[in-house]
Amino acid sequence: MINYGKQFLDQEDFKSVLNSLKSEKITQGSKINIFENSLKKKLKCKYAVSVSSGTAALHLIAKSLGWKKNDLILISSITFVASSSVALHLGAKVDFVDVNYEDGNISIDSLIDKINFYKKKKKKIKTVVVTDYGGLPADWDQLYKLKKKLNFSIISDNCHSFGGKYKNQINYQTKYSDAAALSFHPVKHITTGEGGAVITNDNKIASKCNLLRSHGILRKKNFSPWIYKIKEPGFNYRMSDINAALGISQLKKINKFVRRRKEIAQIYNSFFSKIDICKIPYFPTNKEHSYHLYPLLIDFKKIHISKKTFFKKLRKKKINLQVHYIPIYKLDIFKNKRVNFKKLKNSELFFKNEVSLPIFYELKNKDVRNICHQIKNLITYK
Ligand SMILES: Cc1ncc(COP(=O)(O)O)c(C=O)c1O
């Protein structure tokens, strides 16, 4: 079965993990520092705090920004549920912002509408969470201008866009947001098994995340060796050295991972751009897509089979597509929780039409071409 995403591991990865298993410390050892330094170097940011998942990274950033009961958090409706769940855990109120139909990213117009709506209600926006959907950077210049003007914080949910660039800058996430969350789940650009990181240029956020990922335990050189303080309850969100060892060897391959994703996307682009009921992922020249996903939009209204049948038929051919995502406000956890419920037009249409095609380093060109033809046969058959 060909799934939409998959890790790639080689001898270098096996060796790196094996060595870490043989070292004295398999957690809280030296690999964490090495991995964090490599992340900082690659993403050109001041601080990197490795953690046990992308969700943990989002939770720690939210805690560092001081999210609390009844704070208003705006999140784009087409993203993974993790940031919204964090808001619910902290008692914050979530409202959802529509996306652009053509790229799945947060719509600046919809965000401005929300800002004006809450301005009239005299309700302050605490944070906007922005996902670079599928690996395409959002409209960061405009987001940054709004942030400065209205004084809200921005979390970059950067779990899709490792290796993406905005205006040729790889460090755009930490430049325009307060902090960014990364995920190293196996379907992502690089993997540590499970894992994530907070990256930021803000010393206070980095220190707080660092403290809270390890129970809030504070030790100082002038304390007796067995003494520590805890001023705020924390978590165990640490990444182990075994995972970090995998991260170190994976990160060395990031350029070739992104390059291969772009090659695959190119094949899909040239094939599906010729089919008028399909819309290939949009990207303007000032952004570099890193293709965590290849989201193809198919006008299912214009074809003879339902999306469900389309999926089932492809599964029979051993091609397992996905959909990213169900608009978050449709999930049960948000029933009665949304402050301003209204269906979001583009999100609804995006959800109806989007299918994520397989894209990962090891996917062969012949498999890509087979996926193209199988899809074409299904959607153009009369
Ligand atoms: C946009 C987004 N945010 C957050 C997460 C959570 O990351 P993790 O699975 O590492 O907790 C994911 C993972 O799929 C994601 O895609």
CB contact burial 133-151 (16+ within 10 A = b; e otherwise): bbbbbbbbeebeebbeeee
Whole-number pLDDT of residue 261: 98
The reply to whether 4 falls in a domain is no
DSSP character string of 58-109: HHHHHHHTT--TT-EEEEESSS-THHHHHHHHTT-EEEEE-B-TTT-SBPHH
**Domain match, 333 and 356 both:** yes
The reply to whether 5 falls in a domain is no
Cis before 325 (ω within 30) = yes
Q: How many angstroms is it from 80 CA to the middle of ligand 1?
A: 6
Whole-number pLDDT of residue 245: 98
Ligand 1: lining residues by beta carbon, under 6 Å: 53-55, 79-80, 82, 131, 157, 159-160, 183, 185, 196
The residue whose C-alpha atom lies closest to atom 7 belonging to ligand 1 is 54
Within the chain, what is the greatest distance between any pair of CA atoms? 78
Residue 339 tokens, joined: 């402050």
Strand partners, 288: 165
Whole-number pLDDT of residue 337: 59
Residue 176: C-alpha distances to residues 14, 140, 143, 166, 260 (Å)? 36, 7, 8, 10, 28
Q: How many angstroms is it from 278 CA to the middle of ligand 1?
A: 27
For residue 83, the domain's CATH number is: 3.40.640.10
The reply to whether 56 falls in a domain is yes
The reply to whether 1 falls in a domain is no
| Boundary residue ending a domain (251, 280, 301) | 251
Strand partners, 154: 128
Relative to the CA of 194, which ligand 1 atom is closest? 10
| Boundary residue ending a domain (211, 232, 251) | 251
Q: How many angstroms is it from 159 CA to the middle of ligand 1?
A: 6
DSSP character string of 160-195: T-TT-EETTBTTHHHHHSSEEEEE--TTSSS--SS-
Relative to the CA of 184, which ligand 1 atom is closest? 10
Q: How many angstroms is it from 61 CA to the middle of ligand 1?
A: 14
**Domain match, 93 and 129 both:** yes
Whole-number pLDDT of residue 81: 98
**Domain match, 173 and 259 both:** no
| Backbone angles phi and psi of 162, in degrees to 5 | -60, 125
At 179, the amino acid letter reads A
**Domain match, 241 and 104 both:** yes
Q: How many angstroms is it from 193 CA to the middle of ligand 1?
A: 13
Total domains in the chain come to 2
The residue whose C-alpha atom lies closest to atom 14 belonging to ligand 1 is 80
Whole-number pLDDT of residue 96: 96
Relative to the CA of 53, which ligand 1 atom is closest? 10
Alpha-helix runs per DSSP H in the chain? 11-22, 30-43, 54-64, 82-89, 108-120, 140-150, 172-176, 203-212, 241-251, 254-272, 307-316, 345-353, 365-380
The residue whose C-alpha atom lies closest to atom 10 belonging to ligand 1 is 54
5 with 361: CB under 8 angstroms? Answer: no
Beta-carbon-side half-sphere exposure of residue 302 (alpha carbons within 13 Å): 10
Strand partners, 97: 76
Full residue range of the structural domain in which residue 79 is found: 11-251
Q: How many angstroms is it from 225 CA to the middle of ligand 1?
A: 37
The reply to whether 294 falls in a domain is yes
Whole-number pLDDT of residue 338: 52
Q: How many angstroms is it from 183 CA to the middle of ligand 1?
A: 6
The residue whose C-alpha atom lies closest to atom 5 belonging to ligand 1 is 54
Residue in this structure with the two tokens 């751009």, named with its chain if needed: 273
Whole-number pLDDT of residue 335: 76
Q: pTM of the full predicted structure? A: 0.97
**Domain match, 237 and 310 both:** no
Q: How many angstroms is it from 81 CA to the middle of ligand 1?
A: 8
**Domain match, 143 and 41 both:** yes
pLDDT of the chain, 382 residues: tens digit per residue: 999 999 999 999 999 999 999 999 999 999 999 999 999 999 999 999 999 999 999 999 999 999 999 999 999 999 999 999 999 999 999 999 999 999 999 999 999 999 999 999 999 999 999 999 999 999 999 999 999 999 999 999 999 999 999 999 999 999 999 999 999 999 999 999 999 999 999 999 999 999 999 999 999 999 999 999 999 999 999 999 999 999 999 999 999 999 999 999 999 999 999 999 999 999 889 999 999 999 999 999 999 899 999 999 999 999 999 999 999 999 999 876 555 557 899 999 999 999 999 999 999 999 999 999 999 999 985 5
Q: Which of 53, 55, 326 to mutate to test the pocket of ligand 1 (most atoms within 8 A of CB)?
A: 55
The reply to whether 6 falls in a domain is no
For residue 266, the domain's CATH number is: 3.90.1150.10
**Domain match, 90 and 228 both:** yes
Relative to the CA of 324, which ligand 1 atom is closest? 16
Residue 140: C-alpha distances to residues 175, 204, 316, 353 (Å)? 9, 23, 41, 26
